[in-house]
Amino acid sequence: MALVQIENATKSFMGTRVLDEVSITMDAGDRIAMMGPNGAGKTTLVRAMLGFYRIESGSIRVGGFDPMKQRVKVLENVSFIPQTPPPVRLSLDELLRFVERSSGTEREAIIAEAARMDLDVQGHLRKPFFKLSGGMKQKLLIAIALSKKSDLLVFDEPTANLDPKGREQFYQLLTEIDSQTATLFITHRLDEIEALVNREITMDLGKVVNDARL
């Protein structure tokens, strides 16, 4: 069974079709770079996969589950890093408690993963998340996503806030991901992740215009 099965997914916003009969299959071990200009439908597709958007026609299954009707089941096996770290007002301690309790991810694993990117979580536990620097926030979100044992990792421009050293550390961590875990990178910079992906999907105007194995 495919990990992600998207068939003829269609979605419009205010009369504009942002997903136009999109069909994609993702299997375990797929390392996908999803590219395309702004407004191509990449983020909309990811949001539909995560149960944020209700598609008008077609179907989406993640791990065999419907993201709208069985969102908890879907999200148990998906890790997501947004493009921009959201201004979460919780302290790091509270955020980690939320992650631990909701997804069963161990705090120690997150702290260890963050330490590998030179982020000291212990020293900032009482600090509100939104008061961290952009790079620190992104590193913590990466640490959380990588510590949560998922079948699918979704990264929406994950290195946008990282300095060159941070990027290097992040790419190093990605090389250690289980070979059966699928990853989906939404990116504008293929050159940076070329060595990490084995498939390239390009979208434009809500359609898949290219889907090639590398």
Rounded least distance, CB 93 to another protein, Å? 9
- Among the listed residues 2, 82, 109, 204, the single contact to another protein using CB under 8 A: 82
CB 63 within 8 A of CB 18: no
Rounded least distance, CB 43 to another protein, Å? 10
Quick one: 52 or 59, whose CB is closer to another protein? 52
Q: Which of 196, 184, 139, 192 lies closest to 162 in space, CA to CA?
A: 139
Q: Which stretch binds another protein (CB under 8 A): 22-30, 51-59, 172-180, 188-196?
A: 51-59
Strands 152-156 and 182-186: parallel
DSSP 52-111: SS--SEEEEEETTB-TTTSHHHHHTTEEEE-SS-----SBHHHHHHHHHHHH---HHHHH
Asked if 87 interacts with another protein (CB under 8 A), we say: yes
**Contact letters (x/-) for another protein, 94-123, by CB under 8 A?**
x--xxx-xxx--------------------
Rounded least distance, CB 159 to another protein, Å? 17
- Among the listed residues 2, 5, 17, 71, the single contact to another protein using CB under 8 A: 71
How many angstroms separate the CA atoms of 45 and 25, rounded? 13
Structure tokens at 112: 């260890």
Asked if 86 interacts with another protein (CB under 8 A), we say: yes
Asked if 90 interacts with another protein (CB under 8 A), we say: yes
Structure tokens at 85: 């770290």
Asked if 52 interacts with another protein (CB under 8 A), we say: yes
- Backbone phi and psi for residue 57, each to the nearest 5 degrees, phi listed first: -150, 165
Asked if 128 interacts with another protein (CB under 8 A), we say: yes
Asked if 12 interacts with another protein (CB under 8 A), we say: no
Strands (DSSP E) along 82-187, which ranges?
152-156, 182-186
Asked if 17 interacts with another protein (CB under 8 A), we say: no
Degrees (nearest 5) of the Cα angle 70, 198, 195?
Answer: 120
Rounded least distance, CB 83 to another protein, Å? 9
List residues near another protein by CB under 8 A.
47, 50-54, 71-73, 75-76, 78, 80, 82, 84, 86-91, 94, 97-99, 101-103, 128, 141
